[in-house]
Structure 1
Amino acid sequence: MLETVAVAVMDDSSAFELGLICEVFGIDRTEEGVPRFDFRVCGEHPGRPLRSTGFGIVAGYGLDAAAEADLVAVPGVSGGPPETVPAAVLDALRAAAARGATLLSVCCGAYLLAEAGLLDGRRCTTHWKHVDDFASRYPAARIDPDVLFVDEGSVITSAGTAAGMDACLHLVRRELGSAVANAIARRMVVPPQRDGGQRQFIDLPLPQAHGDSLQPVLDWMLEHLTEEFSAAELARRARMSERTFARRFVAETGTTPLRWLTLQRVLHARRLLEETPMGMEEIAHTCGLGSAALMRHHFRRAVGVTPADYRRSFSSRP
């Protein structure tokens, strides 16, 4: 049952992410058939203003009020991962987990759950920009950089800020059914469920070789995306044996020639989807991906959504 919702806040908690959680759980929508939640904003020192970007946050409840909550949510902090987390907040999160409450993090709120030891051995996610830092800080957590949110039953983690909305609506759908989740989504004027993962939002610049010995070959490959060529031809162009070329290519780019070339074709397709009205078949041919069906296969594998869905979300043209 999902009746009482507590949000644990501290200095520098993101006001926007707090507002997002409040938008789903803190507004009375009983007229739309949505159950009313007992919503509590909880802090170590209730009534004392907390720092936040642009304005202050005042928690109306102490952290002990989270002890009765069915859901304890944690927003991230403004500006990125938190430098420190108050011991009282960590203790409250651990206590909530111990008594069987569901915990949900938005964006870098995953750092708070990890710092409390609640993500050890669990699959989880956070904002794509901080995935490497998160993995180095918390190697026992199983970070997934490609998804909008991860549902591990009693713990739900979400990626960037807006993905917190996806996670909250998912939890409502899981606990109270699709009708309730859809009613909330309609009032918020958002889709009740988004397709794909956060790969579609990641900035992917053209990869460069770590050294400069293969850069002329890489440049030539980029200039001839529509052509087919063998590893032997590329090795000759690099003036290496095939075996040496293959080893050097992986060492300098981190992948094989075929995978590197396919990714460049997908990246080129992504730019054309954003910036041009070209049809799918034309884009596939221009990028060397053969057909629209083959482009869809490679695009979805690399980006996480179909080319058509990506264009609907990111096209710069009306």
Structure 2
Amino acid sequence: METTNQTTVSEFLLLGLTDDPALQSLIFSLFLSMYLVTILGNLLIILAVSSDPHLHTPMYFFLCSLSCNDICLSTCIIPKMLLSIQTQDQRITYAGCITQVCFVIVFALLENFFLGVMSYDRYVAICHPLRYRVIMNPCLCVLLIMISLLISIFHGLLHSLMVLRLSFCIDLEIPHFFCELAQVVKLACSDTLVENILIYVSSCIFVGVPLSGIVFSYIHIVSSVLRMPSSEGKHKAFSTCGSHLSVVSLFYGTGFGVYISFAVTDSPRKSAVASVMYTLVPQMLNPFIYSLRNRDMKEALRKLTGRTTSLL
């Protein structure tokens, strides 16, 4: 098999979700709508929390961080896809592809960490309510965000540097709508054993640890809630966790669904369609989950829209 050194690779081809020209306009409209809803919804969450002093708490600070991350993750993927459909140009430069790989890894991993941090916040609030303000002080909140960000950046750069050392074959077509790490590695002609081991090990560690923290937190939360004497206290405690638990279920549920689809299907295109559920749908639905299930958030959004209307 003829190979070329990675330094001579100038571009890859993103094949997208379908080859059918008749579906391209439909896909363009669908993804543009998803992107606009994602941006608008998460911006509303950020503005509502920022404008309401009652929401200046650790819980909503982490929610704002999650919304910022959702905007960044969607922006790493959708604009390039929309541009490719609009211009009928499937090419992406080698540097652009590696950069996209890096940013997608960073923001996807950051989503895991933010959900884990938010579960810890709920654990402290329900299991140690009297010490909540002492434990979840502003310094700790910022520290948790910064540690999550630094680990995610390190993880993204590590995989990107590993990809840079690979040599690629003549076939540089990626059967996906973005440069996904596993698909890029599959195109390599050089030995990918080290990279594949790194992918599996790092996935187990950096996804497993936050997920284990979430499970640990909710085991203690459920145990504490069940010991509460009043049904009103139980309902209030569960309601504060409902939104976060819904987001966790959506994110990890779609993630495991994509993993299963990779295992049971040999079609890269079907796997790409399944990836939409993991990389785009949770980020679009998160604002709706938090705004519809949270009375404080609904009130803040009502005030924000009222102010905006009066200004107009």
Q: TM-score, normalised by structure 1?
A: 0.26
Q: Which has the higher helix share?
A: 2
Between structure 1 and structure 2, the one with the greater Rg is 1
